[in-house]
């Protein structure tokens, strides 16, 4: 009998889409799967990105045998630049993934001692008690893998982010026979992607987009500008293929698009006959119906090439003209809907014909729908099931799906980040629920997300701030002058001069009433907040943050500070 | 020949979903169609709601013959409480709509001299040069109408918000023969709803939801909690019908749900056998499988009954228990996606089984899809076409649709709010493009939306604020003490004490360097902003708003203020 239980510890990515990170622990061995970031939402204004809290790993640093990466999306690799300076075990990634990790480390100026080992489908590595085999899966970036992890307790299968695509554009198809033979042997645990569990049926093959793109390009009388995720290399390949077929030249704009296209051409993930891709300065000499532009901006990112075009930004490398066709070959990531809609509207305003996923099948997504999830479950036939990579509702629905396939309810575990699930041979149990923290990155600062700070920011964005300057005469202990109010983000100061003046009067009246206590700074502070807060709420029903600045002025003051 | 041209002046609702308002002008006669509000987005933090700028109408007050309302949704009636105190022409509305207008006026404490006239399908009213007939249309609230407006230039048809539903639950079906006979006579202009022009095919009938609700309720072992829009009375009726069929009692929670249910029962828009609807205190005595709860909160509104349940708010009238089924019989309005997802997740966390539109057909929307829009166009056969009620892309797509039906490009007009379109017998032209302002309501304040104010709020929400107190000795003109920094929403003050202190040093160093000029307050102000701004950006790459508070302290100061 094995001496230890297998511990499954999600550090990120459960109950959220983003910052995926999962630890498996057996005795003194820990392996980590993925190390991703999460982009901020409205709820975390002023935050650049969020990464998992790795305290659990830092406390057991000597046990961490390696970080295994399933693919190169930011929600799977984006935390490495922040983690590696503190924890540098060997890293295992496929070729394309490794290239993207290197780009990320370079961009953030991070040097690391961690070894970046190359693996691929069929590779087999041993990290302490764990032996890991890699199998290829289809997703929306090249070189994705799932993991077959042999542990002393049994086999763990991690799906990675996947869909089942029998006609992929550039990836290898999923190796079903390998999974099926595992299922026959007996799998202890399946960890599987829950992102699109709400969708019935099958996710369409990447192949179907080719036909749509070809139809659009062949019908377009002018330039065709295609925007998509830079890392969606199969889509880029489809655009290049259509360009060759329809005798158009391709121009690349946007920093990340250029970087990835160059990298993918160099590494052979992207192929094009010589002369297909041209420099931007060659664009002017071509008739519009010979041009395709590949651009960043599919998420309406404010500084992206497409948004600059949409807004007629003078810095834009390209101006939209009537006759242009813009293809948004992507769907908005939740939270980006408004940005994408605004960009679409602005492009229409410039005279472009915009084609997006509601109007034509110009995009298919990269995650498995219900029937594919069922197929994986029935191939792998796991004893235990843990849905990963999803909001809480996705995890629950995926657990329900697994139960409908015959996995007992007691053997399915919907976990939260920070939970410690221990698996024995026949049963599993959550033995600890740690508070999994979130680390924010904001400019050059990182830290624990502080709810007071975020609350203040929300409050400031709603009602603004009112600074009240109070000068107290150091000798007489009276107000040395009328209180003065400065505001930002509160009201239109020019329109509301009378309100501001009456507010000053209200503070003065409140303090005059208690003038005996003006030497007590904290009393003045409270009194100002209360009196002005009440006044403003009564007058206009708003509650700005009020900062009293109390200063003693007068002769005695000068003595004290000299 | 008529003496004047017909002027079409959208004051709101074009290039946006919300604050619908359209003026038609002929000679000295103006009629207004709808007077709606728009709910704010992330782009307008701290704003409660937005209403159209009615300067155009105020300048021609004596010409405004009436406001005609198509239906009772807030984006069609919600501006009335803000407009009627300034402009009080007679108002024309159907019965249910009038009830909702009265509720809105009462809630906001507005008394008006405007006469609220009752109209209905088949009514005919004359306002100056305009004679208006009303025809019933289906939408997602009772008593909706479209308008047939006879003008000296020809007939104008306004669709209102509509879909075509041959089996409506409580509304009358659309009167096609009336429209078709108009088409035969010749219609000058069609104004038609563009909201769902992106959707191919037909919008399903409200009737299909009944089957889904019945299946869910009959299968549920515990309570069923249904949330939907309070004004979607046909949905409420479906819930009541299922309750009667499945022998459950209905409990209503949430203020607006109670108000509308009571009003709809009283006015006969909603019917239920006696005893169907019970008081909340009777809930406890019933077994869970005999209970249906109708609740507000379908948009994840933070203070709604459903969200209180989801968050185990102690103030909630109901606690979710495992076995409860929650049906979200609505889809999120754009912008509310995150709130609704969070609510769904929280309900799942409480143990509820949550059923929402991605999982079952528990909702159909209230606007026409492409085939219905085409049907209206081909019935009415207008000479001119103006798409209304939509974001810019919707208007363009609707114009394209009309052109594909044979309306010449020169006769379709995609307008912006504030445009003045003049129609002659055979041609039309935008003769003026006024800047249509937006009026915000924020607490008790209203005003023109000020971009500086909003910019400050966004900046505050990202990077917070830093207040720097500078005390200048009035005699020596030196710093009387070290500058002091107070922050809000900037950094975690406890974690970043060292940063704050170094910032104070940086300001001091900058001012010491120029100490000769400290008597010049504006110089000090600029110097503080610059030096501290640079310091903070270099240190942490953030740019908070900096407010220097400069104060003279010392003997001379006391003299001056005494």
Interval A202-221: pLDDT, tens: 999 988 999 999 999 999 99
Average pLDDT over chain B reads 93
- Cα(A94)–Cα(A69) distance, integer angstroms: 8
- Cα(A532)–Cα(A506) distance, integer angstroms: 7
- Supply φ then ψ for residue B91, to 5 degrees: -115, 145
Place of tokens 């501290």: B532
- The reply to whether A351 and A432 lie within a common domain is no
- The reply to whether B70 and B136 lie within a common domain is yes
**CB atoms A542 and B334 under 8 Å:** no
**CB atoms A453 and B491 under 8 Å:** yes
Beta strands in B395-488 (DSSP E): 419-423, 428-433, 438-442, 445-448, 465-473, 484-488
A172-202: per-residue pLDDT in tens?
777 778 888 888 889 999 999 999 999 999 9
The pLDDT value given to residue A1: 60
ipTM score: 0.90
**CB atoms B453 and A393 under 8 Å:** no
**CB atoms A465 and B460 under 8 Å:** yes
Kindly tell me if the per-residue pLDDT of B29 is higher than 70.
Answer: yes
CA distances from B362 to A142, B141, B196, B256, B324 (A): 38, 17, 18, 21, 17
Q: Which of A200, A215, A222, A266 is nearest to A245 (CA)?
A: A215
Of B359, B450, B457, the CB nearest to A198: B359
Clarify whether B426 is annotated catalytic: no
- Cα(A68)–Cα(A135) distance, integer angstroms: 13
- Give the list of residues 6+ apart from residue B560 with CB closer than 8 angstroms, or none: none
- The reply to whether B457 and B340 lie within a common domain is no
Tell me which chain A residues have a C-beta less than 8 angstroms from the C-beta of B350: none
A3-16: per-residue pLDDT in tens?
899 999 999 999 99
A interface mutation test: which of B417, B481, B489 has the most A CBs within 10 A?
B489
Average pLDDT over chain A reads 93
Tell me which chain A residues have a C-beta less than 8 angstroms from the C-beta of B467: 467, 547, 549
Clarify whether A71 is annotated catalytic: no
pLDDT exceeding 90 applies to what percent of chain A? 78
Position A218 in a domain = yes
- Cα(A178)–Cα(A187) distance, integer angstroms: 12
Last residue of a domain, one of A419, A447, A475: A447
Nearest residue in chain B measured CA to CA from A393: B345
**CB atoms A464 and B467 under 8 Å:** no
Q: Any idea what the CATH number is for the domain that residue B369 is in?
A: 3.60.15.10
Task: Calculate how close chain A gets to B91, using CA atoms only, in Å.
Answer: 29
Q: Which of A143, A165, A193, A419 is catalytic?
A: A193
Position B341 in a domain = yes
Please give the helix or strand (H or E) that residue A183 lies within, else none: helix A176-185
**A-B interface: how many C-beta pairs under 8 angstroms?**
206
Kindly tell me if the per-residue pLDDT of B148 is higher than 50.
Answer: yes
- The reply to whether A223 and A77 lie within a common domain is no
Nearest residue in chain B measured CA to CA from A443: B541
Q: Which of A348, A419, A380 is nearest to A156 (CA)?
A: A380
Tell me which chain A residues have a C-beta less than 8 angstroms from the C-beta of B486: 547, 549
Q: Which of B109, B98, B107 is nearest to B76 (CA)?
A: B98
- Token digits of residue A116: 């970046």
Tell me which chain A residues have a C-beta less than 8 angstroms from the C-beta of B46: 461-464, 489, 542
Q: Which of B545, B321, B448 is nearest to B51 (CA)?
A: B448
Give SS3 for A245: helix
- The reply to whether A234 and A333 lie within a common domain is yes
A interface mutation test: which of B488, B539, B556 has the most A CBs within 10 A?
B488
**CB atoms A561 and B471 under 8 Å:** yes
Q: Any idea what the CATH number is for the domain that residue A261 is in?
A: 3.40.50.10710
- Token digits of residue A173: 């198809």
- State the pLDDT confidence band at A561, using cuts at 50, 70 and 90: very low
Q: Which of A394, A417, A334 is nearest to A21 (CA)?
A: A417
A271-282: per-residue pLDDT in tens?
999 999 999 888
Instruction: Note whether B11 and B23 are within 8 A (CB).
Output: yes
- The reply to whether B327 and B376 lie within a common domain is no
The residue that leads in pLDDT, A522 or B356, is: B356
Dihedral of the CA atoms B157, B159, B164, B169 (nearest 10)? -120
The pLDDT value given to residue B172: 73
Domains in chain B: how many in total?
A: 3
Task: Calculate how close chain B gets to A541, using CA atoms only, in Å.
Answer: 5
Task: Calculate how close chain A gets to B172, using CA atoms only, in Å.
Answer: 31
- State the pLDDT confidence band at A521, using cuts at 50, 70 and 90: confident
**CB atoms A442 and B198 under 8 Å:** no
Tell me which chain B residues have a C-beta less than 8 angstroms from the C-beta of A549: 467, 469, 486, 549
**CB atoms B345 and A391 under 8 Å:** yes
Tell me which chain B residues have a C-beta less than 8 angstroms from the C-beta of A337: 334-335, 337
For residue A265, count CB atoms less than 10 angstroms from its CB and return exposed for 0-12, middle for 13-18, buried for 19 or more: middle
> What is the mean pLDDT of the segment spanning A372-401?
97
**CB atoms A345 and B392 under 8 Å:** yes
CA distances from A113 to A272, A291, A460, B360 (A): 36, 45, 43, 52
A30-84: per-residue pLDDT in tens?
999 999 999 988 888 889 999 999 999 999 999 999 999 999 999 999 999 999 9
- State the pLDDT confidence band at B42, using cuts at 50, 70 and 90: confident
Position B360 in a domain = no
Give SS3 for A537: helix
Kindly tell me if the per-residue pLDDT of A552 is higher than 90.
Answer: no
Tell me which chain B residues have a C-beta less than 8 angstroms from the C-beta of A480: 557-558, 561
Of A450, A547, A553, the CB nearest to B553: A553
- The reply to whether B178 and B268 lie within a common domain is no
Of A45, A393, A447, the CB nearest to B461: A45
B497-543: per-residue pLDDT in tens?
999 999 999 999 999 887 778 888 889 999 999 999 999 999 999 99
Instruction: Note whether B135 and B144 are within 8 A (CB).
Output: no
Of A354, A461, A467, the CB nearest to B461: A461
Q: Which of B93, B159, B137, B170 is nearest to B104 (CA)?
A: B93
Q: Which of A461, A333, A478, A340 is nearest to A16 (CA)?
A: A333
Tell me which chain A residues have a C-beta less than 8 angstroms from the C-beta of B557: 471, 480, 553-554
Give SS3 for B525: helix
- Cα(B124)–Cα(B499) distance, integer angstroms: 72
For residue A244, count other CB atoms closer than 10 A to its CB.
15
Please give the helix or strand (H or E) that residue B558 lies within, else none: helix B555-561
Alpha-carbon radius of gyration of chain A? 29
- Cα(B45)–Cα(B53) distance, integer angstroms: 19
Please give the helix or strand (H or E) that residue A370 lies within, else none: helix A370-380
The pLDDT value given to residue B560: 38
- The reply to whether A407 and A259 lie within a common domain is no
Instruction: Note whether A465 and B488 are within 8 A (CB).
Output: yes
Position B1 in a domain = no
- The reply to whether B242 and B335 lie within a common domain is yes
Kindly tell me if the per-residue pLDDT of B254 is higher than 50.
Answer: yes
- State the pLDDT confidence band at A517, using cuts at 50, 70 and 90: confident
A interface mutation test: which of B461, B521, B544 has the most A CBs within 10 A?
B461
Q: How many residues does chain B have?
A: 562
- Give the list of residues 6+ apart from residue A18 with CB closer than 8 angstroms, or none: A12, A36, A37, A38, A39, A50, A75
- The reply to whether B300 and B351 lie within a common domain is yes
Last residue of a domain, one of B308, B333, B355: B355
- Cα(A364)–Cα(A204) distance, integer angstroms: 6
For residue A148, count other CB atoms closer than 10 A to its CB.
20
A interface mutation test: which of B333, B553, B560, B562 has the most A CBs within 10 A?
B553
Of B391, B457, B541, the CB nearest to A444: B541
The pLDDT value given to residue A555: 55
Q: Which of A363, A365, A367, A394 is catalytic?
A: A367
Position B294 in a domain = yes
Kindly tell me if the per-residue pLDDT of A290 is higher than 60.
Answer: yes
The pLDDT value given to residue B559: 38
Kindly tell me if the per-residue pLDDT of A340 is higher than 60.
Answer: yes
Kindly tell me if the per-residue pLDDT of A294 is higher than 70.
Answer: yes
- Token digits of residue B436: 């249509």
Q: Which of B193, B363, B389, B398 is catalytic?
A: B193
Kindly tell me if the per-residue pLDDT of B2 is higher than 80.
Answer: no
CA distances from B231 to A224, B33, B63, B161, B264 (A): 44, 21, 33, 14, 9
The pLDDT value given to residue B284: 87
Instruction: Note whether A323 and A6 are within 8 A (CB).
Output: no
- State the pLDDT confidence band at B1, using cuts at 50, 70 and 90: low
> What is the mean pLDDT of the segment spanning A533-554?
92
Nearest residue in chain A measured CA to CA from B559: A554
Position A109 in a domain = yes
- Supply φ then ψ for residue A137, to 5 degrees: -130, 155
Minimum mean pLDDT among A400-409, B221-230, B440-449: which range? B440-449
Nearest residue in chain A measured CA to CA from B394: A345
Kindly tell me if the per-residue pLDDT of B142 is higher than 50.
Answer: yes
Tell me which chain A residues have a C-beta less than 8 angstroms from the C-beta of B561: 471, 473, 480-481
Position A1 in a domain = no
Task: Calculate how close chain A gets to B201, using CA atoms only, in Å.
Answer: 12
Of A46, A348, A467, the CB nearest to B462: A46
Last residue of a domain, one of A428, A447, A466: A447
Nearest residue in chain B measured CA to CA from A44: B462
Domain enclosing residue B10, as ranges? 6-201+365-447
Tell me which chain B residues have a C-beta less than 8 angstroms from the C-beta of A557: 480, 553-554
For residue A26, count other CB atoms closer than 10 A to its CB.
21
pLDDT exceeding 70 applies to what percent of chain B? 98
Tell me which chain A residues have a C-beta less than 8 angstroms from the C-beta of B483: none
- Cα(A365)–Cα(B10) distance, integer angstroms: 39
- The reply to whether A369 and A222 lie within a common domain is no
Task: Calculate how close chain B gets to A243, using CA atoms only, in Å.
Answer: 27
Nearest residue in chain A measured CA to CA from B443: A541
- Cα(A104)–Cα(A89) distance, integer angstroms: 17
Position B523 in a domain = yes
Of A359, A397, A551, the CB nearest to B469: A551
Q: Any idea what the CATH number is for the domain that residue A518 is in?
A: 3.10.20.580
Of B393, B549, B557, the CB nearest to A345: B393
Q: For chain B, how far is it from start to end, CA to CA, in angstroms?
A: 78
Tell me which chain B residues have a C-beta less than 8 angstroms from the C-beta of A452: 492
A400-425: per-residue pLDDT in tens?
999 999 999 999 999 999 999 999 98
> The dihedral of CA B124, B125, B131, B134: what is its sign?
negative
Nearest residue in chain B measured CA to CA from A370: B359
- The reply to whether A303 and A327 lie within a common domain is yes
- State the pLDDT confidence band at B170, using cuts at 50, 70 and 90: confident
**CB atoms A341 and B199 under 8 Å:** no
Q: Which of B139, B158, B363, B367 is catalytic?
A: B367
């Amino acid at each position: 009998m094995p001496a230890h239980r297998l511990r499954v510890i999600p550090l990120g990515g459960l109950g959220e889409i983003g910052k995926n990170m999962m630890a498996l622990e057996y005795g003194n061995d820990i392996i980590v799967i993925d190390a991703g970031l999460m982009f901020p939402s409205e709820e975390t204004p002023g935050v650049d990105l969020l990464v998992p809290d790795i305290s659990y790993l830092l406390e057991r640093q000597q046990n961490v045998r390696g970080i295994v990466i399933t693919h190169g999306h930011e929600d799977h690799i984006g935390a490495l630049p922040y983690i590696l300076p503190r924890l540098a075990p060997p890293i295992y990634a496929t070729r394309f993934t490794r290239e993207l990790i290197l780009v990320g480390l370079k961009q953030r100026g991070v040097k690391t001692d961690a070894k970046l080992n190359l693996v691929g489908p069929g590779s087999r590595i041993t990290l302490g008690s764990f032996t890991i085999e890699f199998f290829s899966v289809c997703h929306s970036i090249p070189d994705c893998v799932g993991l077959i992890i042999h542990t002393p307790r049994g086999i763990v299968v991690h799906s990675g982010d996947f869909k089942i695509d029998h006609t992929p554009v550039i990836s290898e198809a999923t190796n079903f026979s390998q999974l099926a033979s595992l299922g026959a042997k007996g799998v202890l645990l399946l960890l599987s992607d829950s992102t699109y569990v709400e969708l019935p049926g099958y996710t369409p093959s990447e192949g179907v987009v080719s036909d749509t793109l070809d139809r659009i390009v062949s019908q377009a009388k002018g330039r065709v500008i295609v925007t998509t995720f830079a890392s969606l290399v199969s889509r880029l390949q489809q655009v290049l293929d259509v360009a060759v077929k329809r005798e158009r030249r391709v121009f690349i704009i946007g920093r990340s698009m250029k970087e990835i296209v160059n990298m993918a051409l160099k590494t052979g993930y992207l192929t094009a006959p010589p002369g297909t891709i041209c420099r931007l300065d060659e664009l002017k000499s071509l008739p519009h119906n010979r041009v395709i532009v590949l651009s960043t901006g599919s998420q309406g990112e404010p500084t992206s090439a497409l948004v600059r075009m949409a807004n007629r930004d003078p810095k834009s490398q390209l101006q939209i003209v009537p006759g242009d066709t813009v293809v948004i070959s992507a769907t908005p990531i939740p939270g980006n809907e408004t940005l994408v809609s605004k960009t679409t509207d602005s492009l229409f305003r410039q005279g472009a014909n915009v084609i997006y996923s509601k109007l034509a099948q110009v995009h298919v997504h990269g995650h498995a729908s219900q029937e594919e999830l069922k197929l994986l479950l029935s191939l792998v036939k796991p004893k235990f099931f843990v849905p990963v990579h999803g909001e809480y509702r996705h995890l629950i629905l995926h657990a329900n799906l697994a139960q409908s396939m015959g996995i007992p309810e007691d053997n399915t575990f919907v976990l939260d980040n920070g939970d410690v699930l221990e698996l024995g041979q026949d049963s599993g149990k959550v033995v600890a629920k740690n508070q999994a923290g979130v680390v924010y990155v904001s400019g050059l600062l990182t830290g624990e997300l502080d709810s007071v700070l975020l609350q203040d920011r929300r409050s400031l964005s709603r009602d603004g701030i009112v600074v009240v300057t109070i000068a107290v005469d150091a000798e007489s202990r009276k107000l040395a002058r009328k209180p003065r109010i400065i505001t930002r983000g509160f009201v239109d100061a020019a329109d509301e001069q009378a309100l501001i003046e009456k507010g000053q009067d209200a503070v003065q009246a409140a303090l005059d009433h208690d003038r005996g206590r003006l030497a007590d700074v904290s009393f003045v502070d409270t009194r100002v907040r209360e009196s002005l807060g009440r006044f403003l709420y009564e007058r206009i029903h708003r509650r700005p943050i009020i900062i009293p600045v109390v200063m003693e002025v007068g002769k005695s003051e000068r003595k004290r500070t000299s």
